[in-house]
C-alpha cells in the first residue's frame, strides 16, 4: 500500500506515500509500554474517504483562504472552494490526496516529493515540495521545502492528531496542554481570521501554563462555542526553532514537546471527527479523540497584509522544520 517504516531505538513511524501521511507512531511511555500515539486509518480507501486529513502533509495552503480567491501581484486567481465558499487545506484535491514519490530512504529517515502543476487547485506556478521525516530515539523531525517557477503562496504543515494515552483511548480530555503564545487569532464566519491578534490574558486561550484539554475545549467563550472547541491559531513569539507547545498525558506518563520555526501553531481538538472510517485499531473516533498541533503560517494571510507573508517567488526556498520530542516521565 505504499507504506514505509522508519525507526530508531523504541521509536518508529509508518509513513504512507498517499498524502506523505504519518499513519502510526510508536514510542515508549512512562511504564515502558510501546504505544501508537497518533490517529489514522487502516486502508488507503479509508484515507481517501476521510475528511480528517490524518497525519498528512497539507498544501498548497494549510488552513483557510477566504472566498477561495487569491490576489497576488495585481492578478486574481480563483481557487477551488471546499468549505463554505472558502478554500481549506488546498481545496478538495489537496496534497493529502496525492501519491507522493519516494526520493530517498534509510532505516531512520525518508524523503518524499510531490510536483504540483501550475494552476493546481487554482494556485499559480509549478510547485515542487519535499518532506523528510527523520527519527531518533524519542524524536521525530519534519523538514519541508518548496520551490516554484512563478510567484505563488505556500503554507505547508503536517496534520497529525496525537493521543498520548494511545490511539485507541479515544479521548485527549485528560491531557495537559501548554502553548507558548500570548496572542491568538480570533475567527469569524467559516473559521476565517478577523485580522485581530488578540491577547490571551483572561481567556480560555491562555495556555501559557498547563491546562486540561477537556476543560478548555468546553469553555463558555464565544470563540470556543462557535468552533465547538479549539480550532485556532496561536501566535508564537520569536524566531528560529523554538518551543510551540507541550502536551502531557499523566495517565501514561508520556509528554510531547513541539519545536518549530513557524510563526504559529493551529490547535485543533478534533471537534468534528467522525466515527467512520474507523481508526487503525478498528475503533470509531469522535470529537477530541486526538489533538492536532499544526505548526504553520497564519490562515488567510494573503488577505491580511499585516500577517507574516506566505508569498514564494522563483529562486526562493520555502523551508520549515518541526520536531516532536517524546519524554517518558518517571
Report, as residue numbers or ranges, the catalytic residues. 159, 294
Which residues, listed in sequence order, are joined to residue 4 by a DSSP beta bridge? 15
Residues contacting 92, CB < 8 A, separation 6+? 80, 82
Asked if residue 58 lies in contact with residue 96, where contact means CB atoms within 8 angstroms, the answer is yes
Asked if residue 319 lies in contact with residue 262, where contact means CB atoms within 8 angstroms, the answer is no
Which residues, listed in sequence order, are joined to residue 293 by a DSSP beta bridge? 267
Residues contacting 275, CB < 8 A, separation 6+? 284, 285, 286
> What is the CB neighbour count within 10 angstroms for residue 58?
24
Neighbouring C-alpha atoms within 13 Å toward the C-beta of 308: 16
Asked if residue 112 lies in contact with residue 282, where contact means CB atoms within 8 angstroms, the answer is no
Q: Give per-residue burial for 176-211: e unless 16+ CB within 10 Å, then b.
A: bbbbbbbbbbbbeeebbbeeebbebeebbbbbeeeb
The residue among 284, 206, 208 whose CA lies nearest residue 243 is 208
| Dist. CA 83–CA 66, nearest whole Å | 10
Q: What are phi and psi of 46, to 5 degrees?
A: -65, -40
| Dist. CA 258–CA 296, nearest whole Å | 12
Amino acid at each position: 500500500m505504499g507504506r514505509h517504516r522508519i525507526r530508531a531505538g523504541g521509536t518508529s513511524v509508518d509513513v504512507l506515500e498517499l498524502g506523505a501521511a504519518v499513519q502510526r507512531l510508536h514510542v515508549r511511555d512512562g511504564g515502558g509500554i510501546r504505544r501508537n500515539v497518533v490517529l489514522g486509518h487502516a486502508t488507503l480507501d479509508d484515507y481517501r474517504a476521510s475528511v480528517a486529513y490524518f497525519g498528512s502533509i497539507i498544501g498548497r495552503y494549510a488552513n483557510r483562504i477566504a472566498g477561495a480567491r487569491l490576489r497576488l501581484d495585481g492578478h486574481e486567481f480563483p481557487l477551488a472552494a471546499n468549505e463554505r465558499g472558502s478554500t481549506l487545506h488546498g481545496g478538495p484535491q489537496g496534497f493529502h490526496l496525492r501519491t507522493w514519490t519516494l526520493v530517498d530512504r534509510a532505516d531512520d529517515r525518508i524523503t518524499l516529493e510531490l510536483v504540483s502543476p501550475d494552476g493546481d487547485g487554482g494556485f499559480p506556478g509549478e510547485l515542487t515540495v519535499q518532506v523528510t521525516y527523520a527519527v531518533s530515539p524519542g524524536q521525530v523531525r519534519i523538514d519541508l521545502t518548496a520551490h516554484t517557477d512563478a510567484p505563488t503562496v505556500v503554507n505547508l504543515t503536517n496534520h497529525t492528531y496525537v493521543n498520548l494515552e494511545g490511539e485507541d483511548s479515544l479521548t485527549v480530555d485528560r491531557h495537559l496542554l501548554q502553548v507558548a503564545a500570548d496572542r491568538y487569532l480570533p475567527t469569524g464566519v467559516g473559521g476565517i481570521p478577523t485580522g485581530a491578534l488578540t491577547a490571551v490574558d483572561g481567556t480560555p486561550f491562555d495556555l501559557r501554563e498547563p491546562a486540561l484539554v477537556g476543560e478548555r475545549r468546553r469553555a463558555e467563550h464565544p470563540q470556543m462555542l462557535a468552533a465547538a472547541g479549539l480550532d485556532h491559531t496561536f501566535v508564537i513569539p520569536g524566531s528560529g526553532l523554538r518551543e510551540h507547545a507541550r502536551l502531557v498525558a499523566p495517565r501514561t506518563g508520556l509528554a510531547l514537546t513541539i519545536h518549530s520555526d513557524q510563526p504559529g501553531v493551529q490547535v485543533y481538538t478534533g471537534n468534528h471527527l467522525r466515527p467512520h472510517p474507523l481508526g487503525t485499531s478498528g475503533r470509531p473516533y469522535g470529537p477530541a479523540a486526538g489533538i492536532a498541533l499544526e505548526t504553520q503560517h497564519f490562515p488567510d494571510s494573503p488577505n491580511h497584509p499585516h500577517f507574516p507573508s506566505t508569498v514564494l517567488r522563483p529562486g526562493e526556498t520555502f523551508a520549515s522544520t518541526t520536531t516532536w520530542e517524546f519524554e517518558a516521565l518517571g
